[in-house]
Chains A and B, each alone.
Chain A
Amino acid sequence: MLPEPAPMTAPATTIIRSWSCILFVSALAISGECLIAAAMRRLGDLDRLRTGTGLRSYLGPIRAVLSSPIFLIGALCMALNFFAMLFTLSVVDLSLAAPAIGSLTYVGNAIAAKLFLHENVDRRRWLATSFLAVGVVLVSR
């Protein structure tokens, strides 16, 4: 059986599938990063949690991080993000997925950091975020 000739424009179902994959991966990344940021912010400077000397001194911070429920949910989101990304890259062109997921994640992160983490996203950081969003699209295309 001969393969059908490639259509000039992608069918609507393909477009919807591609963009739902992209939105899903971005949403997982944003929630994961915000939850982890919230958990780490609550823990504060990790150096303070170190006791003793040598490699053993890192046990304190590691134990503190791993016993934080917010961190665990965030890490779960990041793990799901990892596998969703592997899946997405197999069905969506890298030249679309990489720039779209990259810039959506940066813009979404800035908005979520402002809304949920109450970070002081001033004009300088908004400017940096928009430069990142455009720059990531240009570089990863």
Chain B
Amino acid sequence: MTHRLKPSQYAILICVMLTASVGDTLLSHGMKQVGPVDLHHLSLLWHALFNPYVDIGIVLLIGFFACYMTALSFADLTFVMPATAFGYVVIALLSRFWLHEHLSLSRWLGILLITSAVGFVANSPSRTEHPSLDVMDSATGR
């Protein structure tokens, strides 16, 4: 039994890709404005909550969390993993085509590797069935 995903389930995986990367970017931008936090200045973490970039980042990350959990309710953790990693590709491509930053050859290679990892997994069954069913699946060549 292969597990084909519904279009709405693919949409959730795409939300996982986008919200995590954009949220992390906003969060890192906000934390740069807040400044370095160390053990003796932990109160700065409280201060960080009043930075708008940190706030929007947190909202997006909450959205990511909801999408991520929904995805885990219908797919394996190892199936969803490439979708979360694709966020790195989104960040790299945003910095290339939006911020017009230069991407080194090794970064393009990384984008290629992550994208092919998504390709490997995207067409495979999304959910591990009971072990005995897995044996039957492999016996029928799937």
Which chain A residues have a beta carbon within 8 Å of chain B's beta carbons? 33-34, 36-37, 40-41, 43-46, 65, 71, 78, 83, 86-87, 89-91, 94, 102, 106, 109-110, 113-114, 117-122, 124-125, 127-129, 131-132, 134-141
A43 touches B73 (CB 8 A): yes
Select which of A109, A117, A118, A138 is within 8 A of B107 by beta carbon: A138
Pairwise interchain contact B89-A120, C-beta atoms closer than 8 A:
no
* Residue in B37, B68, B120 whose CB lies within 8 Å of A127: B120
B35 CB to nearest chain A CB (Å): 9
Q: For A44, give the chain B residue with the smallest CB separation.
A: B73
Q: How far is the CA of A134 from the CA of B48 in the complex (A)?
A: 32
**Docked-complex contact B77 and A119, CB < 8 angstroms:** yes
Q: Are A136 and B114 in contact (CB under 8 A)?
A: yes
Pick the 10 closest A-B CB pairs, nearest first: A138-B110, A135-B113, A139-B110, A135-B114, A40-B72, A131-B117, A120-B128, A128-B117, A37-B77, A90-B37
Partner of A131, one of B31, B36, B107, B113: B113
B120 touches A128 (CB 8 A): yes
Interchain CA distance A129-B128 in the complex, whole Å: 17
Q: Which of chain A's residues have a CB closer than 8 A to the CB of B65?
A: 78
A56 CA / B134 CA spacing, docked (Å): 37
Distance in angstroms from B76 CB to nearest chain A CB is 5
Q: Which residues of B contact A137 (CB under 8 A)?
A: 110
Shortest CB distance B37–A (Å):
4
CB of B11, distance to nearest CB on chain A (Å): 13
* Bound CA–CA A18/B31 (angstroms): 19
Residues of A within 8 A of B37 (CB): 86-87, 90
**Are A131 and B120 within 8 A (Cβ)?**
yes
- Residue contacts A-B, CB under 8 angstroms, 15 given: A86-B31, A109-B77, A118-B131, A119-B76, A119-B128, A122-B124, A125-B124, A127-B117, A131-B113, A131-B120, A132-B117, A134-B110, A135-B109, A139-B111, A140-B88
Cα distance, A100 to B70, chains bound together (Å): 27
- Could you give, for residues 44-87 of chain B, a 1 whenever the CB lies within 8 Å of some chain A CB and a 0 otherwise? 01001000000000000000010011101110111101100100
Q: Which residues of B contact A119 (CB under 8 A)?
A: 76-78, 128
Check if B116 is an interface residue, CB within 8 A of chain A: yes
B115 nearest in chain A by CB position:
A135
14 new A-B pairs (CB below 8 Å) besides A89-B31, A120-B125, A129-B117? Answer: A34-B77, A36-B68, A40-B73, A45-B74, A65-B69, A86-B31, A106-B85, A120-B134, A129-B78, A132-B82, A135-B110, A135-B112, A138-B107, A140-B110
